[in-house]
């Protein structure tokens, strides 16, 4: 059986994936593969679902939305020379913001691709293909669709649910659906995926463990929706605990490098030679050399120096970590820190190897910065297509979800399972274990562990659901003493100070409305019904 990486190369070379459209209302066809000569074998189904792991299906959201919304908006980093990022950073967002539009359109493009695959399998797949294989292929597509809708719900709240692209031909104008129904739809897709995906599959493909880990995360989010006073729905917390706990205890998976006595597993996880290691529950399957609109361009955008990019082109928006984020690291947390952000004087021998390695000249982003084509022995890499398979869900995330679900509505916990899996994350990084957990400790650990993986804003929105006043205060506290400013680092004294040359513009005070993004103006023009109050889907 071909690996998913090879399958994607075949698909890209065959131009089998349709292009992204300007609006989610302009539904792209799933592929140029004719239903009359395709979907005849299990191999055909595997080809169809492989198209959902990367390429144009996820390009816009991964490159133009995930880190921008998940980390810049959340206060982990800034770049003051791009007006779109400044809007995110200063909470002055409008419906014309490119990052907001790209993320919305990109997620709906993914949903349309998934819908097309599901419908084709249901209606066109040969009767000679087993029901098990058909259900597994549909489960892959429903997993992807669930991930897309989960992000739409987190960022925008009430959004339209589109389950069948063909219905838009007769009725292209849609109402938004209430956010609780969007999450219910996500949970339904993931439950189907958990029940129909195999427990093991080709490297890079999602499994039942992937779906169960994502289900745990979704139920943890749902548990706070519509609540207040710091309390969450206990039944939904129990569901989060059930699914995340099953992955933690019964999957047989381990954190990458968990048993490494030198504690380098965290650092090495993000090196491309370790793409799709067992800790990865869902990573995008990018291919080098595929050009604009098909690959991983995070390094091109965010590298701190063009020396580190293919043909020394790039580093257009070098992200500056904020003082508030940097101060989250303890003195011992050096491995995660160096794997995530660079400080002045840090040496990275694996980068710019032709010149003897790279010495950082100022604080900047390290995660996703894998070096040029020579550093990776990958002549096919181009400026728009890194070979890093950036991760959307990994086991460490599920460990922390499980610990948070156990904590639940308690002020603190010393539960054995919560501490076990929480401390596995810390000890892998060479950081001392803790003896008790509370909500603030969990938020800090997640912020550090998952930084620049598009997760922190999701955590803050989840917090805002059930404790809005304190969530708003947390955002506003980032502005105290200019915590959202970039900083300089003195290599001799190992001290930091606010970067006087990059003073950020004024940030608007956060309110509860800050946790919901504006719908792109182009979408409101195309569909005025998006301005109407949301309606139930079920």
Closest CA to 24 of 174, 243, 246: 174
| pLDDT of res. 172 | 87
- Residue 214 to residues 39, 224, 398, Cα–Cα distance (Å): 28, 16, 8
What distance in Å separates the CA atoms of residue 252 and residue 249, rounded to the nearest whole number?
7
Residue 259 is predicted with a pLDDT of 82
20-56 burial: b if 16+ Cβ within 10 Å, else e:
beebbbebbebbebeeeebbeebebbbbbbbbbbbbb
Task: Give the Cα separation of 423 and 35 in Å (integer).
Answer: 50
Question: What's the pLDDT tens digit per position in 363-422?
Answer: 999 999 999 999 999 998 999 999 999 999 999 999 999 999 999 999 999 999 999 999
CA atoms within 13 A on the CB side of 257: 20
| CA–CA distance, 9 with 286 (Å, rounded to integer) | 9
Closest CA to 143 of 109, 107, 186: 186
Nearest CA to 217 among 239, 195, 193? 239
Residue 254's Cβ-count burial label (10 Å; 0-12, 13-18, 19+) is: middle
pLDDT at 480: 81
Question: Tokens standing for 66?
Answer: 């995930």
DSSP 258-311: TT-TT--HHHHHTSGGGTT-TTEEEE----TT--TTTSB-HHHHH-S-GGGSGG
The CA-based angle 509-514-517, given to 5 degrees, is 145
Residue 154, phi then psi, degrees to nearest 5: -65, -45
As a whole number of angstroms, the distance between CA 367 and CA 484 comes to 20
> In this predicted structure, what is the pLDDT of residue 138?
98
Instruction: Count the alpha carbons within 13 Å of 472 in the hemisphere toward its beta carbon.
Output: 11
- Nearest CA among 314, 319, 300, 324 for reference residue 363: 319
Q: Which two tokens stand for residue 272?
A: 């491309």
Q: Which residues contact 242 (CB under 8 A, 6 or more apart)?
A: 216
How many other C-beta atoms can be found within 10 angstroms of the C-beta atom of residue 505?
9
The residue with tokens 């080098």 is: 288
What's the CATH number for 4-234?
1.25.40.390
The backbone region for 408, taken as left when phi is positive above 0, alpha when psi lies in -120 to 50, beta otherwise, is: left
The answer to whether the CB of 197 falls within 8 A of the CB of 211 is yes
Is residue 251 within 8 A of residue 242, CB to CB? The reply is no
C-alpha to C-alpha distance for 536 and 538, rounded to whole angstroms: 6
CB 430 within 8 A of CB 48: no
First to last CA, the chain: 40
Per-residue pLDDT in tens (0 to 9) along the chain, 538 residues: 444 344 334 444 343 333 333 333 333 344 444 556 789 999 999 999 999 999 999 999 999 999 999 999 999 999 989 999 999 989 999 999 999 999 999 999 999 999 999 999 999 999 999 999 999 999 999 999 999 999 999 999 999 999 999 888 888 899 999 999 999 999 999 999 999 999 999 999 999 999 999 999 999 999 999 998 999 999 999 999 999 999 999 999 999 999 877 778 999 999 999 999 999 999 999 999 899 999 999 999 999 999 999 999 999 999 999 999 999 999 999 999 999 999 999 999 999 999 999 999 999 999 999 999 999 999 989 999 999 999 999 999 999 999 999 999 999 999 999 999 999 999 999 999 999 999 999 999 999 999 999 999 999 999 999 999 999 999 999 888 778 889 999 999 999 999 988 777 788 899 999 999 999 999 999 999 999 999 999 9
d(CA 33, CA 323): 50
Q: Which residues contact 171 (CB under 8 A, 6 or more apart)?
A: none
């Amino acid at each position: 059986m071909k690996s998913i990486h090879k399958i994607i190369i075949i698909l890209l070379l065959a131009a089998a994936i349709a292009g992204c459209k300007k609006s989610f209302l302009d539904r792209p066809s799933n592929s140029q593969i004719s239903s009359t000569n395709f979907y005849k074998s299990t191999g055909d189904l595997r080809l169809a679902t492989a198209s959902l792991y990367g390429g144009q299906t996820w390009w816009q959201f991964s490159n133009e939305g995930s880190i921008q919304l998940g980390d810049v908006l959340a206060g982990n980093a800034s770049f003051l020379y791009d007006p779109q990022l400044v809007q995110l950073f200063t909470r002055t967002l409008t419906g014309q913001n490119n990052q907001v539009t790209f993320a919305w359109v990109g997620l709906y493009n993914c949903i349309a691709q998934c819908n097309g695959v599901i419908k084709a399998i249901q209606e066109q797949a040969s009767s000679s293909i087993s029901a098990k294989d058909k259900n597994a292929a549909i489960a892959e597509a429903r997993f992807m669709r669930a991930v897309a809708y989960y992000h739409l719900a987190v960022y925008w709240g009430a959004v339209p649910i589109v389950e069948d692209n063909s219905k838009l031909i007769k009725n292209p104008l849609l109402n938004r659906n209430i956010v609780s129904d969007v999450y219910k739809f996500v949970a339904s897709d993931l439950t189907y995926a958990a029940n129909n995906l195999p427990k093991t599959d080709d490297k890079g493909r999602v499994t039942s463990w992937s779906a169960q880990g994502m289900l745990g995360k979704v139920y943890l989010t749902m548990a706070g929706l519509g609540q207040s006073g710091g309390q969450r729905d206990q039944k939904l917390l129990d569901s989060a605990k059930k699914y995340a706990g099953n992955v933690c205890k019964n999957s047989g998976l381990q954190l990458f490098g968990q048993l490494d006595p030198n504690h380098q597993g965290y650092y090495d996880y993000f090196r491309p030679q370790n793409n799709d290691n067992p800790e990865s529950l869902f990573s995008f399957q990018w291919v080098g050399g595929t050009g604009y609109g098909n690959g991983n361009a995070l390094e091109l955008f965010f590298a701190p120096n063009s020396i580190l990019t293919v043909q020394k082109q790039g580093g257009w928006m070098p992200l500056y970590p904020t003082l508030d984020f940097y101060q989250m690291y303890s003195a011992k947390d050096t491995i995660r820190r160096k794997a995530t952000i660079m400080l002045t004087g840090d040496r990275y021998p694996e980068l710019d190897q032709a010149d003897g390695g790279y010495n950082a000249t100022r604080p900047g982003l390290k995660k996703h910065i894998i070096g040029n084509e020579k550093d990776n022995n990958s002549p096919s890499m181009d400026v728009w297509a890194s070979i890093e398979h950036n991760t959307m869900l990994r086991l460490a995330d599920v460990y922390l979800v499980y610990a948070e679900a156990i904590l639940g509505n308690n002020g603190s916990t010393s539960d054995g399972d919560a501490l076990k899996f929480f401390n596995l994350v810390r000890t892998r990084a060479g950081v001392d274990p803790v003896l008790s957990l509370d909500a603030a400790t969990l938020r800090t650990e997640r912020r550090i562990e998952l930084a620049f993986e598009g997760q922190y804003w999701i955590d803050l929105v989840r917090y805002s659901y059930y404790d809005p006043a304190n969530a708003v205060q947390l955002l506003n506290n980032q502005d105290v003493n200019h915590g959202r400013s970039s900083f300089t680092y003195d290599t001799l004294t190992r001290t930091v100070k606010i970067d006087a040359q990059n003073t950020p513009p004024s940030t608007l005070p956060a309110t509860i409305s800050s946790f919901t993004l504006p719908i792109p103006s182009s979408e409101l023009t195309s569909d005025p019904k998006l301005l109407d109050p949301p309606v139930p889907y079920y």
